[in-house]
Amino acid sequence: MTATLSGCGASGGSGDVTLKLVAADYGTSAANKSDKYWDDVARGFESSHPGIKVDVTVLPWTDIDREVAKMVKDGKAPDIAQIGAYADYAKAGKLYSADEMLSIPTQANFLPKLIDAGQVNRIQYGLPFVASTRLLFYNKKLFSQAGLDAPETWSDIASDAAALKQRGVSYPFALPLGPEESQAETLMWMLSGGGGYTDEVGSYDIASEENVKTFDWLKSHLVDKGLVGPVAPGKLNRAKAFEEFSKGKVGMLNGHPTLMEEAQKQGVQVGMVPLPGENGPTDGSMGVADWIMGFKQNDHRVEIGKFFDYLFTDKNVIEFADMYDLLPPTNSASAAMEDDAKYKPLHQFLAALPESEFYPFGKTSWAAASESIKENIGKAVEPGGSPRSVLERIARDATQAEAAE
């Protein structure tokens, strides 16, 4: 879907500049498409910046990364792209760095963890557009009926799931390790066991002893005991797990803010706690971010910077986050939402964001590593599966992809 928000390009001889912006559609229906947001932002920017126009193309998430890659390959890069990854373009020298575009107050306002996640070789190219964190969700009604308290440890999860299974709950713990988004579920569990995808210096550490131990526990204490429901984890996608939770058929799963709203709409009472760890609640949550970036091709550095300074004002940042139950990437907008009772349902997620751990976005090899996780991680918990050998295979794929950079 394309929305041309102003004019048909630069005006000949007037010195006007037209910025071409390609953005993802976060809407779930015609009623909440992202076009209106971008229309409002573009018109507001144009009214305060004579001589700069903004043409916006809004594309579905299923197409946008591929379409932008094609534009760049064809020599028709947009000035601005709001997409899922930036590292390939940064490594190829196609992007402006943050400090080449942004005013100092705008650049300094991003949450520090998001600044780190937006860097390649310690230079920030990816500007965090929106963020999300994950918490453990549980069905309060099912827990109350079983006389259970919210889980705090892995052993709590196992015993609670066993009690829910006895009461006939379809999915005592929904474990979506299917190909849709298993890289997220995997990282959440790795963090809860003291591991992660990388070590302290940013090198891949996928087959660490901590990660092997975590998946050994998942396999032996949840999957092998039949506590994850009727669909094998490797076949269960996040969308299906979320749908079943919203129907009241899931006792526990890892969820994000959008699921909270959807489940409550359908009458499910949602409890939320930090992901339980081996000995208590996990200190850090998993964070997810989407990115916006400025391309060099059309030499519009100054105009792109002015647009970003406008885009990242609190009003615009909060409006988008509010529209889709997501989290703002800036300190000031986060503080404003934390101080506003209207956003109380998001406060737990906001509190988790500053200490969240993100995917290794700055590695161009991450795309290949992520694909290997999606393809293979479900096999780690299959009957007869070996978590260690599966994690070692994924680690080899990641290392090979990094060597090819």
- 256-270 residue pLDDT tens: 998 998 899 999 999
Position 188 scores a pLDDT of: 97
Q: Read off the tokens for 87.
A: 């590292």
- Say yes or no to pLDDT of 283 above 90: no
* Nearest-angstrom CA–CA distance, 114 and 388: 31
In DSSP terms, which residues pair with 83 in a beta bridge? 291
What average pLDDT does the segment 358-386 reach?
95
Q: Is the pLDDT of residue 12 over 70?
A: no
Cα–Cα distance between 147 and 138 in angstroms, integer? Answer: 13
60, 118 in Cβ contact below 8 A?
no
pLDDT, one tens digit per residue, over 153-178 is 999 999 999 999 999 999 999 999 99
Q: How far is CA 216 from the centre of its chain?
A: 26
* Share of residues in the chain with pLDDT > 70 (%): 96
Residue with structure tokens 């000035």? 79
Helix (H) or strand (E) holding 190: helix 182-192
pLDDT at 3 over 50: no
Q: Are residues 99 and 168 in the same domain?
A: no
Are 187 and 196 contacting, i.e. CB atoms less than 8 angstroms apart? yes
What is the pLDDT at residue 15?
A: 58
pLDDT confidence bin for 139, thresholds 50/70/90? very high
Q: What is the mean pLDDT of residues 119-140?
A: 96
The structure tokens listed for 184 are 């997220």
80 occurs within a structural domain: yes
The answer to the question of residue 259 being in a domain is: yes
Contact 296, 172 (CB under 8 A): no
Could you say which DSSP state residue 218 is in?
I
Q: Among the listed ranges 10-24, 45-59, 108-122, 153-167, which one has the minimum average pLDDT value?
A: 10-24
Residues 379 and 258 in one domain: yes
Same domain? 232 vs 381: yes
SS3 57: strand
What is the pLDDT, as a whole number, of residue 1? 37
- pLDDT greater than 50 at residue 7: no
Burial classification of residue 270, based on how many CB atoms lie within 10 Å of its CB (0-12 exposed, 13-18 middle, 19 or more buried): buried
Judge if 85 and 152 occupy the same domain.
no
157 occurs within a structural domain:
yes
Tally of domains within the chain: 2
Task: Kindly tell me if the per-residue pLDDT of 351 is higher than 60.
Answer: yes
* 12 and 39 part of one domain: yes
Q: Is 182 in the same domain as 319?
A: no
Give the pLDDT score at 30: 84
Q: Provide the pLDDT for residue 43.
A: 97
User: Could you identify the residue written with the tokens 């591929």?
Assistant: 66
Is the same domain home to 110 and 192?
no
Answer yes or no: do 300 and 277 share one domain.
Answer: no
Query: Between the CA of residue 105 and those of 100, 114, 153, 311, what are the distances in Å?
Result: 13, 16, 41, 13
**Mean pLDDT across 40-55:** 97
- Give the domain extent around 126: 2-132+288-355
Tokens found for residue 353: 């964001």
262 in a structural domain: yes
pLDDT for 199: 94
Judge if 216 and 68 occupy the same domain. no
Question: What pLDDT shows up at residue 29?
Answer: 80
Q: Cα–Cα distances in Å, from 278 out to 1, 157, 165, 274, 275?
A: 47, 10, 22, 13, 10
Q: Are residues 346 and 398 in the same domain?
A: no
The residues near 81 (Cβ < 8 Å, ≥ 6 apart) are: 21, 22, 23, 68, 292, 293, 295
Structure tokens at 64: 């946008």
Please check whether residues 341 and 274 belong to one and the same domain: no
The answer to whether position 11 is within a domain reads yes
Whether 360 is covered by a domain: the verdict is no
141 and 65 share one domain: no
- Is the residue at 271 inside a domain? yes
Average pLDDT over residues 361-370: 92
Write down the pLDDT at residue 284. 80
Residue 232 covered by a domain: yes
pLDDT at 255: 95
Q: Which residues are CB-neighbours of 195 under 8 A, at least 6 positions away?
A: 205, 208, 210, 211, 214
Q: Which of the listed residues 335, 355, 375 is the one where a domain comes to its end?
A: 355
Residue 258 contacts residue 325 (beta carbons within 8 Å): yes
The more confident residue out of 173 and 84 is 173
Is residue 303 within a helix (H) or strand (E), and if so which, with residue range? helix 301-311
CATH number at residue 203: 3.40.190.10
Please state the rounded mean pLDDT for residues 212-217. 98
Chain-wide mean pLDDT for the chain? 93
pLDDT, mean of residues 83-87: 92
